[in-house]
Amino acid sequence: MPQPKPSHHDVVAIIDYGSQTSQLITRRVREANVYGVLVPWDIAAEELRLLKPAGVILSGGPSSVYDEDAPTLPGVVLELGVPVLGICYGMQLLAKALGGQVAAAQNREYGQAELVNEQNSPLFEGLGDRLQVWMSHGDRIETLPDGFGVLAHSANTPIAAMADETRRLYGLQFHPEVAHTPRGSEILANFIRICGCRGDWGPGSFIEEHVADIRQTVGDGKVVCGVSGGVDSSVVAALVHRAIGKQLTAVFVDNGLMRKNEVAETNARYRAMLGESYISVDASERFLRELAGVTDPEEKRKIIGRVFIEVFEEQARQIGGVDYLAQGTLYPDVIESASTTKSAARIKSHHNVGGLPERMHLKLIEPLRFLFKDEVRQVGLALGLPEEMVYRTPFPGPGLAVRIIGEITRERLATLREADAIVREEIAAAGLGREIWQYFAVLTPLRSVGVMGDSRTYADVVAVRAITSQDAMTADWARLPYEVLARISSRIVNEVQQVNRVVYDITTKPPATIEWE
């Protein structure tokens, strides 16, 4: 897993032993305004030293310390002389490395437990005598290593927390990072204080550090960046622009597949943000020509991806002398592509201009590659991006092409744009915009019979899709109030000429996907 450059902020390294919650630990540390960085357990000693961590947290993991190929504790962790906090598997590793005894438990222990504090440890400062915690472990500590004392127990776990306060080494048998440990963040904040961290990491300092870094890296070179109107690419462009001004060219490609008014709004926002560094390319004719007659979903995606790269590459050549490509890669992508357990359901990224860096000998700048999505939004707000951009709901790269089932024509695009605008207006008017992950209209290839006045109609069927989700990997259909659905339906059939029927999609993901294509 690639690691960030050393930061002038305090860093806490989180060593990943494969727990589902390793990312969550990283996020909790960052919520305490300290730069938490997730590193693999087999990180080279030199790499870890370079990060100059003020403290180390060992995550949980599915292994047992006595398994034959169980991940181990890198020797360098204890040589650094900084505070160490082992969580679950991390605690057991720490105990074993220091001469304690770990016993394989007969039964795994899961669930809520009440923790009883036995000591006044700085780790539990301000937390009182009893705490609700979330246990999830198989093995447990049988004998403490020399120098350690018991900090707390629970009904089933005699050593639920341990510490060697002199060496500032700590172990927790429960998970402080999960919501089921309501005051867990305070425990982590206490650990961070024990590490002596200043807690000065945040959007402002991130911007400062990266502006300086980009300036230094780029020198008087030129940078291009593809912008889509979405939050990631917009934040990258704004950050790079703040660093190097006119040396940046941000390119927006209008593929003719955007929603109603979206191109004009996007252009206006980017012009205000980036001034002369922004160019908007109207390639809609070209995309629609290449898509004519195509109905297969994968074929559509491939054409759109290819034409996008062609157009972008032409622009980059016109600018000339470009050295760098700036991209909005985020931390979860970095972590995921480094992990061996890649999720099969990766979200396809359209604005990843595959192949271009090699062909044009461009070097990559990816300033967001150590940030989570909500942190990117915070940086966006701190850079002064408008809220509509920072909180824009996800919109697929292939745009309305994957929401028109069947052939894409200008007429059908116009129909879908009108219907979709009504869905968006009504959901916004009902104040539901923030709780619904995505909401849109889909133009089906169906026509159905209707009646209008005294005459029979035979017109398009539009489907409405509104879903709730945490991460787009799974989704549920939104229980929209009937009145909102009624208004959407009646407005669409009244205001959009070619449509005489509206249906609501009540399918979860899986087995359906969010988009229809």
Interface residues with ligand XMP (CB under 6 A)? 301, 347-350, 394, 396-398, 438, 472, 509, 513-515
In terms of CB distance, is 74 or 399 closer to ligand XMP? 399
60 in the Ramachandran plot: left (φ > 0), alpha (ψ -120 to 50) or beta? beta
CB of 484 to ligand XMP, least distance (A): 21
Distance, CA of 200 to CA of 206 (rounded, Å): 10
CB of 283 to ligand XMP, least distance (A): 17
Q: What's the DSSP call for residue 509?
A: B
Look up 175 and say whether it is catalytic. Answer: yes
**What are the Cα distances from residue 461, in Å, to 297, 410, 488, 497?**
19, 17, 14, 12
In terms of CB distance, is 318 or 513 closer to ligand XMP? 513
In terms of CB distance, is 171 or 398 closer to ligand XMP? 398
CB of 358 to ligand XMP, least distance (A): 22
Burial class (CB in 10 A: 0-12, 13-18, 19+), 326: buried
CB of 288 to ligand XMP, least distance (A): 18
Catalytic residue among 153, 175, 210, 350: 175
CB of 509 to ligand XMP, least distance (A): 5
CB of 229 to ligand XMP, least distance (A): 11
Catalytic residue among 9, 88, 350, 375: 88
Q: List, in order, residues 6 or more apart from 128 with CB less than 8 Å away.
A: 117
In terms of CB distance, is 213 or 515 closer to ligand XMP? 515
Catalytic residue among 9, 137, 153, 177: 177
Contact 139/103 with Cβ under 8 angstroms?
yes
Distance, CA of 390 to CA of 234 (rounded, Å): 8
Look up 241 and say whether it is catalytic. Answer: no
Angle, alpha carbons 387-388-392 (nearest 5°): 115
Q: List, in order, residues 6 or more apart from 505 with CB less than 8 Å away.
A: 442, 463, 464, 465, 477, 512
CB of 472 to ligand XMP, least distance (A): 4
Distance, CA of 87 to CA of 170 (rounded, Å): 9
HEC states along 115-161? EEECCCCHHHCCCCCEEEEEEEECCEEEECCCCCEEEEECCCCCCCE
In terms of CB distance, is 289 or 348 closer to ligand XMP? 348
- With CA atoms as reference, report the closest residue to 253 among 227, 232, 222: 227
In terms of CB distance, is 109 or 515 closer to ligand XMP? 515
Contact 252/281 with Cβ under 8 angstroms?
yes
Distance, CA of 432 to CA of 478 (rounded, Å): 10
In terms of CB distance, is 345 or 452 closer to ligand XMP? 345
Catalogue the active-site residues.
88, 175, 177
